[in-house]
Amino acid sequence: MNTDLLTLGFIGYGNMAQAMAQGLVDAGVLPGGRIVACAAHYDRLVERTTRLGVRPMHSGTEVAAAADLVILAVKPGQVTHVCEPIRHELADPDRMVLSVVGGMTIEDYADILEEGTHLICAIPNTPISVGQGILVTQEEDTLTDQERELFTQIFDPVAMIERLPRELVSVGTTIAGCAPAYTAMYMEALADAGVEHGLPRQAAYRLAARMVQGTGALYMATGTNPGAMKDAVCSPGGTTIKGVASLEKHGFRGAVIEAIDEVERGD
């Protein structure tokens, strides 16, 4: 099957599912009419699906019947409840299942889905909505080779697919999925400093956002070690190294590392 024939279905249509749908439609991977979705509150679902032309449905049973790729996008505590009535439909050999449920791995689904279900677990981040996402994907899956190719064909236009072994998915997800919030805080702080020194607020935000985008693009294009990228901007006795020294004095790196550690500890 290719994407020209595929229907994609969301069980759960919260913020992340909406971000995925937005990215796929805007990138031309699928038209909204070939995406279906169900959620707990049907009236709210109708409001959320109208703009993209996504088809709202009343139940997971309807979604499973309509979709070739079913995306489980509910909270972890809801997975068993939503899967139980459709276990047999999800195990159809012509159907793929993608779990984007935080913290759930292939092993966690062993007692939830029927044996033989074609399942892959992955966690996207919100920039997928603008085609600049990351999809942290568990290496271990139960897809066929053809289905893995189709998975890549669907999501490669909107996200970098990073495949990791089960034991590393959590930290990979933390960096990819939580750090957009930390990066937004950094951008906001840069903009506040710019405003303090006279920049208009929106100009300061644009400069900070483009700088973050460009720095990431430079690394992706060259593979240059980030430390070397930093060194290249720091002339001896110059202004940039003074700012770097100030960040070091105030524990910038340590604060970032501790933020990741805190999430991984689950405190």
pLDDT in tens, 77-123: 999 999 999 999 999 999 999 999 999 999 999 999 999 999 999 99
Over residues 177-206, mean pLDDT: 97
Average pLDDT of the residues in 69-76? 97
Q: Report whether 70 contacts 95 (CB < 8 A).
A: yes
Q: Is the pLDDT of residue 59 over 70?
A: yes
Query: pLDDT at position 3, please?
Result: 72
| Residue 225 scores a pLDDT above 60 | yes
Residue 34 neighbours by CB distance under 10 Å? 22
Report helix, strand or coil for 58.
Answer: coil
Cα 137 to Cα 105, 120, 164, 208, distances in angstroms:
10, 8, 6, 30
Residue 72, strand partner residues: 11, 99
Q: How many Å apart are CA 186 and CA 180, to the nearest integer? A: 10
Question: What pTM was estimated for this model as a whole?
Answer: 0.90
Average pLDDT over residues 222-251: 96
Residue type, 61: T
- Which of 236, 194, 228, 197 lies closest to 211 in space, CA to CA? 194
Residue 62's CB is within 10 A of a number of other CB atoms, namely: 16
State residue 106's pLDDT score: 94
